[in-house]
Amino acid sequence: MDKKSGGGFFSKLKEGLSKTRSSFVRNLEDMVVGERYISAEFYEELEELLIAADLGPAFAQTMIEEMKFRAKRKELDSPEVLREVIKKYMISILEHSEYSPPIPDNGPYTIMVVGVNGTGKTTTVGKIASHLKQEGFSVMLAAADTFRAAAIEQLEIWSGRTEAPLIKQSAGSDPSAVVFDAIHAARARGTRVLLIDTAGRLHTKTNLMDELKKIKRVMARELPEAPHETLLVLDAVTGQNALSQAKMFNDSIGITGLVLTKLDGTAKGGIVIRIAQELKLPIRFIGVGEKVDDLQPFNSVEFVEALLAPQ
């Protein structure tokens, strides 16, 4: 999939990250302006600032060491220098999270989308379908969230918007049966990408996680190497809780990529960097709003430029 988003999305990204930037960047600038001598208090304040933005202790420790090195060489004399050092380090972490697997010509390429309740998972499935259609792929949707009738109805709306056929059963049906039908339908129609919506669940509930494992077993039995991708949708507003969710989902069922939504609703957009640094999982998409094109493939340079843009 194409990782480069247009200038329009960069503007939305910059606007969406304004809550993080207004607190983080402004404080960075205030800390350095007028500093003739870099004191121990400066480093303590910097560490607190980095951790408060959910960048995490590992990131903060590396930055403190780099700042001390720069200060000794008298290179830490302006907000621009501090921002540039942080920017380069952020990009070095995030650029490893940009991997986007190629979608083969012979489908169906299966993408299972998982996550806890309230992350915007079904909406994310619809937006990814829209993006893939714009990229020229044929797409099919599978409504494997059979616990909520509303989820099936929501996916029906996205099916109409994107002109992607929907495979569904009635509410309360076995999700694995829906996925079984969807794989066979996608094969029969020569569909390139099959997107599977699953029920939101608490990552601590063993029986619900077991159901996801069952879905994956059914997929693997019907289609070798399926699911080809298992994307976890995370709500950026939850900050560090998103990190713990990702760890538990990955340990339980194996995650191949992440989708970060609602970055426009948080002042802790730094969680993206922390997740990338600690989990080493690809970040496939990020979302900064409600509109269809407010979800785009992740681009590390764009993200950091938007995050650290001058106030």
**Secondary structure (DSSP) of 160-206:** HHHT--EE---TTS-HHHHHHHHHHHHHHHT-SEEEEEE----TT-H
Query: How far are the Cα atoms of 86, 132, 305 from residue 80, in angstroms, in the given order?
Result: 10, 38, 13
Instruction: List Cβ neighbours of 186 (8 Å cut-off, separation of 6 or more).
Output: 107, 108, 110, 140, 194
CA atoms within 13 A on the CB side of 188: 8
pLDDT for position 239? 81
In the prediction, which pLDDT does 148 show?
Answer: 86
For residues 200 and 121, what is the distance between their CA atoms, to the nearest angstrom? 8
Residue ranges of the chain whose pLDDT lies below 70 = 1-7, 32-38, 76-79, 202-205, 311
Q: Is the bond preceding 227 in cis, omega lying within 30 degrees of 0?
A: yes
Whole-prediction pTM: 0.89
Residue in the block written with tokens 């921002």: 83
Return the SS3 of 258: strand
Q: Report the C-alpha gap between 170 and 172 in whole angstroms.
A: 6
Q: What is the pLDDT of residue 2?
A: 44
- Residue 311's pLDDT is what? 59
